[in-house]
Amino acid sequence: MSKHQYAMVMDLNKCLGCQTCTIACKKLWTDRDGTGYMYWNNVETRPGLGYPRQWDRIGGGWKDGALQPSPLPTMDDYGHAWEYNYEQRLYEGKKQPVMPSPEPHSGMNWDEDVGSLNGDENYFFYLPRICNHCTYPACLEACPRKAIYKREEDGIVVLDQDRCQGYRYCIKACPYKKIYFNEVAGKSEKCIFCYPRLEKGQVNACAAQCPGRLRFVGLLDDTESPVHKLVLVHKIALPLFPERGTQPNVFYVPPFNPPKREHYNKSILEDSRLPLDYLLYLFGPEVKDVITRLEAELRNAQEGGRSDVLQLLIGRDAETRFHVRPQLVQIQS
Amino acid sequence: MRIRPATLILVIGFGVCALSVAQSGSKPIAGQSLPVAASSVSTDTLLSGGPAAWKEIAVKRVALNRTPPLYDTDEPATLDIPSVDVRVVRSGAKLLVQLTWHDSTQDATVLAEVPNTPPETRFRKVQTEINDRFFDAAAVMFSKQPTAGAVTPSLQMGDAEHPVEIYYWNATRGAMLMQAQGRGTTRRTGESFPARGAYQNGQWSVTFELPDLAAGTPLAFAVWNGSQKDRDGRKYFSVWQVLE
């Protein structure tokens, strides 16, 4: 067990689906050879196929103490990285329009805004995803090279590039499919929770850049941190697919959409815009309690009361949203 | 990762098998000795010459075994490659080993060359083409310290008393020298060695240039079939063969 655990909370009610987090991550970490197709951070539309396609349905994780089987996703599931023929258009005088190549057929938010129908009303929301830096990482257990380890000082799960030999058992084992294979390097890679930034007191790039201000970062055991308050005190943030057994350390405030037009003042549990079954699928049975708590806070605020929970979720400034404490997690020599 | 009980039984079985070779003394038991030919042909010719340069060399057909499923989540694999043909030649101060086996699929590619400039200085990067393929490979493992008929190393990458050298060749990534002192300790040294692989008529023929090894040195062979998703301990392996 780690001495401390960095965690992130994402408020899904605030996500714009703008992918600024994705680009912040990509420019910083995966703008290298072999990494074009991989997004350590991605934002996908839910309900939807996800990235890689059907990652939530193909396996991995734990059941009764044993790793669960899963196929490796294919490049078609992730979507090939494509380039545009700028040279031909701009420098070689060819008249054809600028086109991507290879022709895209899938990607990290391919079915953007498609969503689904609830009765005759369309609904969807965005789900930003990074590695969950799990307390019981299936990837770590699956690696025969012992290339994956969980940092004792802050709980971040990292993959040692010197030890990795590209066997890809970790990718199969991860129920969130958040490890990627770099064929050029012959090694697998994953989100490192921006630990070099955290060590310098800077928050993760995805969180720093988020225009929706929906990400909260801190140590789960730091009582001053927003993640501690949201997850452990107010109990309004839940991990994704808790039944997969890895105990994620990324938590989500479930989407808390307004009621349907003609049903104002009804509870979301009573008549939700988002089918409750889908939220139960993603976040497990506790989601009902979380929505009940959130509704109570909202009602209180609407009646003129003060809600610390909603004030925290608004997250007006970086000091509210981020508590990066490198002095707390220094390795004891 | 949890190892299946059945796996342990099989592993112990192989260990007993290896031990039986060791206890037979300096003279290998029949069927597990490996003839060594002497050749005046240069190592370069033997490495690059193909079947013509090797046709006079005595061949030993060595049975291959499939490692049992090592992990709970392993898919089962069939014994598609039941044997490997081994030829050994001493030439100069080198030992050349040629492994030949039938494999109906050539799991190999030529990866795009990565320019020798930092990626951040290039507009275009080399891209991952396929993320779920595995390549054919083969290896020769021998004891670092020749064992003159005494106990042979563990077949599972040697052991603490018997460090092993592994000359590993991959159809896509080339030749890599590895060392190990037991299961899970294998590491790449960063060094390479002369090797050549050729695929023709559904058959791989891979030649390894090893340092000269004394008579009595135990050698073991491994083959990985990429289309069976072989990598790591998921492979074909032989029991120890002892150099004559």
SS (H, E, C) chain B: CCCCHHHHHHHHHHHHHHHHHHHCCCCCCCCCEECCEECCCCHHHHHHCCHHHHCCCCCEEEECEECCCCCCCCCCCCCCCCEEEEEEEEECCEEEEEEEEECCCCCCCCCCCCCCCCHHHCCCCCCCCCCCCCCCEEEEEEECCCCCCCCCCCCCCCECCECEEEEEEECCCEEEEEEECCCCCCEECCCCCCEEEEEECCEEEEEEEEECCCCCCEEEEEEECHHHCCECCECEECCCEEEC
DSSP state of A257: P
User: Mean pLDDT of all residues in chain B?
Assistant: 85
Whether A166 sits inside 8 A of B231 (CB atoms) is yes
Give the C-alpha separation, B206 to B87, whole Å: 10
Task: Return the pLDDT at B51.
Answer: 74
Contact residues on chain B for A37, CB-CB shorter than 8 A: 127-128, 131
Domain boundaries, chain B: 5-243
Q: Which residues of A touch B131 (CB under 8 A)?
A: 37, 72-75, 78, 180-181, 183
Task: With CB atoms and an 8 Å threshold, state whether B126 touches A78.
Answer: no
Any chain A CB within 8 A of the CB of B2?
yes
8 Å CB contact between B96 and B45:
no
Contact B173 A141 (CB under 8 A): no
* Predicted pLDDT of residue B149: 57
Q: Answer yes or no: is pLDDT of A260 > 80.
A: no
Q: Do B127 and A70 touch (CB under 8 A)?
A: no
- pLDDT score, position B22: 37
pLDDT class of A270 with cuts at 50, 70, 90 = confident
Instruction: Check pLDDT > 50 for residue B6.
Output: no
CATH topology of domain B5-243: Immunoglobulin-like (2.60.40)
Give chain B positions within 8 Å (CB) of A183. Answer: 111, 128-131
CA-based nearest distance B170→chain A, Å: 12
Pairwise CB contact (< 8 Å): B132 & A141? no
B174 at interface of A, judged by CB pairs closer than 8 A: no
What percent of chain B shows pLDDT beyond 70? 84
Say whether the peptide bond before residue A47 is cis (omega within 30 degrees of 0): yes
**What's the confidence (pLDDT) of residue B24?**
34
Q: Which residue of B has its CA nearest to A137?
A: B1
CB contact under 8 A, A68 and B125: no
Cα of B130 to nearest chain A Cα, Å: 6
| Nearest by CB: A67 against B72, B112, B184 | B72
Mean pLDDT of A194-215: 97
Q: Where are the domains of chain A?
A: 6-79+108-328
What was the pLDDT predicted at A175? 98
Tokens 């086109």 belong to: A99
pLDDT at B5 over 50: no
- Could you say which of A75, A146, A186 has the minimum Cβ distance to residue B173? A186
pLDDT of residue B146: 62
- Chain A residues within an 8 Å CB radius of B173: 186
Which of A281-285, A293-297, B49-53, B73-77 is predicted least confidently? B49-53
Q: How many CB pairs under 8 A join A and B?
A: 97
Q: Which residues of chain A lie closer than 8 angstroms to B71, CB-CB?
A: 67, 142, 144, 169
**B78 interface with A at CB cutoff 8 Å:** no
The residue with greater pLDDT, A288 or A88, is A288
Residues of chain A with Cβ-Cβ distance to B120 below 8 Å are: 31
- pLDDT digit string (tens) for A41-53? 999 999 999 999 9
* Structure confidence at residue B92 (pLDDT): 85
Residues of A in contact with B124 (CB under 8 A): 83
**Among candidates B73, B126, B127 on the partner chain, residue whose Cβ is nearest the Cβ of A172:** B73
A259/A280 Cα distance (integer angstroms): 18
Mean local confidence (pLDDT), A24-33:
96
Smallest CA–CA distance, residue A75 to chain B, in Å, is 6
Q: Please name the residue of chain A whose CA is at the shortest distance from the CA of residue B189.
A: A162
Task: Please tell me the distance in Å from B80's CA to the nearest CA on chain A.
Answer: 21
pTM across the whole model: 0.91
Answer whether residue A274 shows pLDDT above 80: yes
Least confident of A170-179, B20-29, B55-64, B171-180: B20-29
pLDDT tier for residue B86 given thresholds of 50, 70 and 90: very high
Assign A332 a pLDDT band (cuts: 50, 70, 90): low
Mutation for A interface: B132, B134, B183, most A CBs within 10 A: B132
**What pLDDT, in 10s, does the model give residues B31-69?**
688 999 988 788 888 888 777 788 889 999 999 999 988
> Which of the following CATH numbers is that of domain A6-79+108-328: 3.20.20.150, 3.40.50.720, 3.30.110.30, 3.30.70.20?
3.30.70.20
Please indicate if any CB of chain A lies within 8 Å of the CB of B231: yes
